[in-house]
Chains A and B, each alone.
Chain A
């Protein structure tokens, strides 16, 4: 009798990498839905272009590296990188901006380092930073919510704007685009305006933070909590990051609420929630010990606040994540958990 003799353990939970990635994608769905509600179909066009580009680059890179296509394309990691990038870049951005960002994310940040699992830096953030530095105008041109601009962006309109530069009705998106709430606040503050004056009667600010943005951020929060509940991510990084951001923002806000935005504004603006739950938690590039994760999160939270308040860019999540990526291996080494039956230092 011929018997099969693999080594133990002989059973497996059935968890799969692709399932993990798909769950993260599902968790983004509420925020994407609200994005469409507030800002029109632009984000969907972004996602489609980015995903298409990501799969193409992934397939080419795998082919060049002589790796099997099927199982690697099917792990949804490239799709996730693409969707995160699409969310980080402004809707109606030209198609080539997305393609360049995705190219750097997939080819440079991921495959040149050895592919999935070997990249030291978050690929989506590398792609984002490359286009942010190279094409600052395109990356910082955001649409206001439809309710403010009065312009509703249809799918065809968005597609047309992305591909040709003008909306289907001939309007140039530049004409209706505005700075993001974070950007606006920063510029105004540098011109010595005070916060109550800046926010007063400005429709881009909502009840809690940026109009529209506040709800999208809350939707990221909901999706993120679901991921924690499903044990796809650990709570340590998002909680540490958001708590440190809120704490440091709170201190400055208490000192001078006219010059420093409220903690709530910081938490619900820009990429805070997306960064905390979906980007900083990328396991490949984050710290993997629990204490390391907390330090990693705190570092990002502090850096985000520093860059937003005193740095050259209105938003700092991408830079903060990349900077902390560099520290992750060291954090891992020095924060090893206490092994069963051993003292802390043995």
Chain B
């Protein structure tokens, strides 16, 4: 079947640099002595540790559980002992520290014994499959790390027409998906079939950029071998085709609105690596404890490594033979959207798809010179895949006109970096947009806090008034009580007086009855 492909506007053709890291097969990274496992390796709430310092753990054992719906558990990548639960630097542009579980490996790599491989996923309901995937800690391996079971959940009355596997891998240098598709196509297709079952999806499509013919051929071979109905579609190589919404547009012609989920348009997209992880979780009972990471750039043997999570970047780079002296920078992720590490002493996690090592000679990343003035040439608008007007966004971001910048849909920007890449004035546009976004978020946060403070103040006022009123009421009640007491007393007085009066009256009567006995008789 020949499928009509669609096009999204914009995008750029980038130098690929992909051959260098696909020459060698997947290398298995040697187990280091320590693994540092951040509690948050996904989008959502950090997981909660369920082990304590000193505990022995086995490979595949859950060491931190999901803390909420949008969260993912963490498993021990190998056997060993928990030696610390503390704060370590994590792979994040900020270089901030976050809670991690540190495991000292024992070298036995002994599996825990409660693995429950599922024979045929069709013997289980989609709900059960989702639970397995959730408990296996599977998150999107394409980059964002969104818990996968959520993207395998159908909402009310939702139907999935097309389940897309994303094998586009449009960022230069990165080849972890490419090599996985070449070497483990069966895992991917089997995983895809499990996902299809979980979503009750009608069609399955795999989108691959046409610069990966080997990967496409391998997948086609696997599809034939398994005799399943999956379409492998080669899409034009163009950045950012691997963006979820861009790929959906190309394959289906549908545009997913900003803030909307693809499932609202009956489409779900998963990364090819995620499909393989799902296969391992369901068919082998292996939770997500390792992934393929590309180590490429300025080193002698660029290759893809299967890494246990928690291995430090320094360790992996050393294993890959990187000479630290020549390194200029190390990028976590690709050159377009990745971030540069400020230290190699960070653990690699579920979303670590690539380490790009650069030096001044072999990987000269064209450093921007001093930015010139924007001449509004519009090259940025031509390449923006979202069809924004970066030149206007820049103008208003620079002027800190944050209302206007939202008029031009700043928050639809996906920070793909295309505008930056082509800008002849070499203006760091994406940085300006990030600045504008954070400023707006901050302002909103402050507004919220101000509102909260106002609320608190009002509540305090209310409380004071209420207390005053209560006090008043209490006083009133007391006064009433006193008054009541008083009136009781006066009753007694009255009774006494009455009695006295009666006595008096009696005396008088007696006196009247015997006048000869004058009253003064008493004086006698």
Contacts and interface: CB of A to CB of B under 8 A. Distances in A.
Interface of A: 1, 3-17, 19-20, 68, 71-72, 75, 77, 115-118, 231, 234, 283-284, 286, 288-289, 332, 336-342
Contact of B430 (A1, A7, A19, A77): A7
B245 A340 contact: yes
Contacts of A6: 329, 340, 367
A341 B260 contact: yes
A234 B379 CA distance: 10
B408 to A, nearest CB: 7
Contact of A337 (B245, B341, B389): B389
Nearest to B381: A288
B43 interface: no
Given A116-B375, A332-B392, A342-B412, A289 B381 contact: yes
Interface of B: 8-9, 12, 14-15, 93, 172, 245, 249, 255-258, 260, 324, 327-331, 333, 335-344, 358, 365-370, 372-379, 381-382, 385-389, 391-392, 408-409, 412, 415, 417, 420-426, 428, 430-431, 434
Contact of A288 (B8, B329, B340, B392): B392
Contact of B257 (A4, A288, A342): A342
B431 A7 contact: yes
B12 A13 contact: yes
B11 to A, nearest CB: 11
Q: Tell which of B257, B342, B372, B386 has the most Cβ of chain A within 10 Å.
A: B372
A332 B374 CA distance: 16
Contacts of B368: 12
A283 B377 contact: yes
B344 A11 contact: no
Given A336-B389, A341-B255, A11 B375 contact: no
16 contacts: A1-B343, A3-B329, A3-B343, A5-B339, A8-B333, A8-B336, A19-B424, A72-B372, A117-B374, A231-B382, A332-B392, A337-B389, A340-B255, A340-B412, A341-B255, A342-B409
A342 B369 CA distance: 35
A4 B331 CA distance: 10
A10 B391 contact: no
Given A340-B385, A340-B386, A15 B372 contact: no
Contacts of B336: 8-11
A4 B378 contact: no
A288 B378 contact: yes
A338 B331 CA distance: 34
B378 A337 contact: no
A10 B389 contact: no
Contacts of B256: 341
The 7 A-B pairs of least Cβ separation, nearest first, read: A9-B417, A117-B373, A341-B257, A5-B340, A4-B329, A15-B424, A340-B386
Contact of A7 (B339, B344, B376, B391): B339
A290 B388 CA distance: 12
Nearest to B339: A8
Contacts of B12: 13
Given A7-B430, A11-B335, A342-B412, A117 B424 contact: no
Contacts of B15: 11
A339 B392 contact: no
A20 B373 CA distance: 13
Nearest to B388: A339
Contacts of A284: 375-376
B409 A339 contact: yes
Q: Tell which of A10, A231, A284 has the most Cβ of chain B within 10 Å.
A: A10
